[in-house]
C-alpha cells in the first residue's frame, strides 16, 4: 500500500530565502500526523507545493501515489486543503460556495454530502448566509467544509483553529477525529501545541526548511521532555551549585525543577529545605509538547 503522502528531496527557494532545504517525509494512510515549526520554518510552503499551488525546485511529492506535477488531476482529487488565510468569495452563500466547489471536481447531485458536512460543522443555520457576513470562526469552518466537499482521502489542515473559540474548536475536532476514524489521513499544522499532543500519533518538526525531529508523539515526549516540580517558597533562597543546575525556571520565590523519575522529588525537596527554603506550595507537571518543541528548536 502506497503512503498517503510521499515527499522526497524537496527544495524551494524564493530568491535569497531557502524555504525548503531538502525535505524527505512519508505519511501513512489513516495517520493523524502533526507538522510543527515556528513561523517561517517552511510548513505553508511545503503544503503549497503539495497542493500544486507552487512547484518545488527539486524533488517529488505524491498524494496517494499520484505525482502532484505529472498526475495533478488525480493528486488534486485525493487532497483537501484548509488554508491558513481566510480566502473566500464574498458574492455567494455557504451552500452556493460548496456547490460551486463540487462542480470544480465534476461532482453532481452532491447536496446530501454537503448537508452532512454543514451539520457536522454546525453550519446548517448559516447555509444560506453570505460568506462575508460570517464571523471569523464561521468562515474558518466554511473553509473546512470546502476542503471536504469532494470527499478526499487526505486532508491537510493549516492552522484550522486560528481565531476559533473554544466551543467551535471542540466541535471541529470531534468531526475531524471521526473522519480520521473512518480512514481519512489528517495532516495538521498548528501553533496550539496541546492540540498536536492530543490528536497526532506522529509529529515532524520543521526548522529553517529542514525536518529536525520525526517520531511518534509518545517517543518525542519521552525523549525530549521531563516532569516538572514547581515550588512556591516563603522567600527567595540561594541554592548550592549542583541543585541550582537543576532549576529550569526561577521567578522570585518560585522555582521549577525538571526531573525524569518521581524518585528524584524527595531529594529535590530535601535540598531546597537544606538551603533554607520554606515550601508554601508545590505542584507536579507532566511532560508536554511545548517543552519538546522549545528544546528541539533551541538545538543547534
Last residue of a domain, one of 200, 224, 248: 224
Same domain assignment for residues 159 and 219: yes
- Model confidence pLDDT, tens digit, residues 113-139: 999 999 988 899 999 999 888 888 888
- Model confidence pLDDT, tens digit, residues 71-101: 999 999 999 998 887 777 788 999 999 999 9
Q: Which domain holds residue 102?
A: 94-147
Q: Span 136-157, mean pLDDT?
A: 91
Domain count, the chain: 3
Provide the pLDDT confidence category of residue 290 given band limits of 50, 70 and 90: confident
Phi-psi group of 194: left, alpha or beta (phi > 0 → left; psi -120 to 50 → alpha; rest → beta): alpha
How far, rounded to the nearest angstrom, does the alpha carbon of residue 115 sit from its chain's CA centroid? 27
Same domain assignment for residues 67 and 159: yes
Same domain assignment for residues 157 and 59: yes
Same domain assignment for residues 104 and 231: no
Q: Span 267-289, mean pLDDT?
A: 91
Q: Span 201-212, mean pLDDT?
A: 95
Note the pLDDT of residue 136: 80
Averaged pLDDT of the chain: 91
Position 88 in a domain: no
- Model confidence pLDDT, tens digit, residues 207-258: 999 999 999 999 998 887 778 899 999 999 999 999 998 898 889 899 999 8
Measuring CA to CA, which residue among 206, 175, 189 is closest to residue 18? 206
pLDDT higher than threshold 90 for residue 47: yes
* Alpha helices, DSSP H, located in the chain: 43-50, 72-77, 94-104, 111-120, 136-148, 166-181, 193-199, 217-224, 241-244, 264-274, 289-297
Amino acid at each position: 500500500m502506497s503512503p498517503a503522502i510521499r515527499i522526497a528531496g524537496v527544495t524551494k527557494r524564493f530568491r535569497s530565502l531557502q524555504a525548503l532545504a531538502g525535505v524527505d517525509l512519508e505519511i501513512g494512510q489513516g495517520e493523524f500526523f502533526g507538522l510543527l515549526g515556528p513561523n517561517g520554518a517552511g510548513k505553508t510552503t511545503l503544503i503549497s507545493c503539495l497542493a500544486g499551488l507552487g512547484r518545488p525546485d527539486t524533488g517529488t511529492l505524491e498524494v496517494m501515489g499520484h505525482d502532484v506535477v505529472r498526475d495533478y488531476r488525480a493528486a488534486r482529487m485525493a487532497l483537501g486543503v484548509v488554508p491558513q488565510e481566510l480566502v473566500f468569495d464574498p458574492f455567494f452563500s455557504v451552500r452556493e460556495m460548496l456547490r460551486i466547489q463540487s462542480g470544480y471536481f465534476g461532482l453532481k447531485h452532491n447536496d446530501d454530502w454537503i448537508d452532512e458536512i454543514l451539520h457536522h460543522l454546525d453550519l446548517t443555520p448559516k447555509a444560506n448566509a453570505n460568506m462575508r457576513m460570517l464571523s471569523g470562526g464561521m468562515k474558518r469552518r466554511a473553509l473546512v467544509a470546502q476542503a471536504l466537499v469532494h470527499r478526499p482521502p487526505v486532508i491537510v489542515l493549516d492552522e484550522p483553529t486560528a481565531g476559533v473559540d473554544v466551543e467551535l474548536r471542540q466541535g471541529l475536532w470531534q468531526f475531524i477525529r471521526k473522519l480520521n476514524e473512518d480512514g481519512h489521513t489528517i495532516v495538521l499544522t498548528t501553533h496550539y501545541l496541546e492540540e498536536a499532543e492530543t490528536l497526532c500519533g506522529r509529529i515532524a518538526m520543521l526548522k529553517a526548511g529542514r525536518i529536525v525531529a520525526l517520531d511518534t508523539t509518545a517517543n518525542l515526549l519521552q525523549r525530549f521532555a521531563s516532569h516538572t516540580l514547581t515550588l512556591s517558597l516563603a522567600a527567595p533562597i540561594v541554592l548550592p551549585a549542583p541543585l541550582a543546575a537543576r532549576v529550569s525556571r526561577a521567578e522570585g520565590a518560585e522555582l521549577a525543577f525538571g526531573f525524569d523519575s518521581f524518585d528524584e522529588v524527595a531529594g529535590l525537596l530535601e535540598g531546597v529545605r537544606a538551603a533554607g527554603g520554606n515550601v508554601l506550595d508545590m505542584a507536579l507537571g507532566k511532560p508536554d509538547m511545548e517543552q519538546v518543541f522549545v528544546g528541539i528548536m533551541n538545538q543547534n
